[in-house]
Amino acid sequence: MISVVILISGRGSNMASLLAAADARTLPARIVGVLANRPDAGGLETATAAGVPTRVVDHKLFARREEFDAAMAAAIDEFAPDLVVLAGFMRILGDAFVRHYQGRLINIHPSLLPTFPGLHTHRRALAEGVRIHGCTVHFVTPDLDHGPIIAQAAVPVLDGDDEATLAGRVLAQEHQVYPQAVRWFAEGRLRVSGGRVILASPQDGSSALIAPQASGA
């Protein structure tokens, strides 16, 4: 069973989904620590209630990003995790930090990468008129919101959607796909070859998400 540290900046709903999966024993991992860069991050209370140790490394106390990265890495390494999971962690991490955890640092992003990296993904998806949107779990590399893709989940974009409704539909899928991706890592079923993630498991290629689908079509 692997040990996992989760980094958050806010309420940590993806963190909560991982804690629930670990508690239900559908995730063969121990969440050994939750770290936040903001002392008011709501997810800290959730983690504490679940009996998980927490730490705060407040980015506002550091003049340089490199100093913050070093302090965060030192706090993470106290737990000696096998995997570091970014779950709504809203700080850009420097190259040295990313390389320190290469191959064991993953993130979830609220778009179907490589489309819409960065912020305001749902707003941008609506503005571009895409019909399918979603989320991506990927290994973190020094390039922001890039890196070998582990898993993606897609949802239809409906004609009546606004940012809130689309975000809610995507978030529901994030809570499903992130524990699945972490489970694959924990089970040793992921390897990276030629910049792509290879999953050691049979895959079903028969299904497709088509949007829009009109009633009776």
Q: Is the pLDDT of residue 209 over 90?
A: no
Is the pLDDT score of 217 beyond 60?
no
Q: Is the pLDDT of residue 27 over 90?
A: yes
Residue in the block written with tokens 């689908």: 213
Q: What is the pLDDT of residue 207?
A: 86
197-202: which pairs have CB atoms within 8 A and are 24 or more residues apart?
197/139, 197/148, 197/149, 197/150
Whole-number percent of the chain with pLDDT over 90? 92
* d(C-alpha 161, C-alpha 21), whole Å: 30
Two structure tokens written together for 7 = 């980094």
pLDDT band at 215 (very low <50, low <70, confident <90, very high): low
pLDDT at 130 over 70: yes
What pLDDT is attached to residue 124?
98
Residue of 59, 100, 109, 146 marked active site: 109
Query: Which residue blocks in the chain are alpha helix, DSSP H?
Result: 13-23, 43-49, 65-77, 95-100, 121-128, 163-186
CATH: 3.40.50.170, 3.40.190.10, 3.40.50.1360, 3.40.50.460. Which one for 2-199? 3.40.50.170
Residue 216 scores a pLDDT above 70: no
| Interval 103-120: pLDDT, tens | 999 999 999 999 999 999
Q: In this predicted model, what pLDDT tens digit does every residue of 67-87 receive, in sequence order?
A: 999 999 999 999 999 999 999
- Stated length of the chain: 217
Q: Is position 133 annotated as part of the catalytic site?
A: no
Helix (H, G, I), strand (E, B) or coil at 128: helix
* Overall average pLDDT of the 134-144 stretch: 96
Q: Which residues make Cβ contacts (< 8 Å) with residue 200, sequence separation at least 6?
A: 188, 189, 190, 191
List the domain boundaries for the chain: 2-199
Residue 86: beta bridge partners?
A: 7, 107
pLDDT tens across 163-186, in order? 999 999 999 999 999 999 999 999
Query: Alpha carbon 10 to chain centroid distance?
Result: 13
Q: What is the pLDDT at residue 214?
A: 75
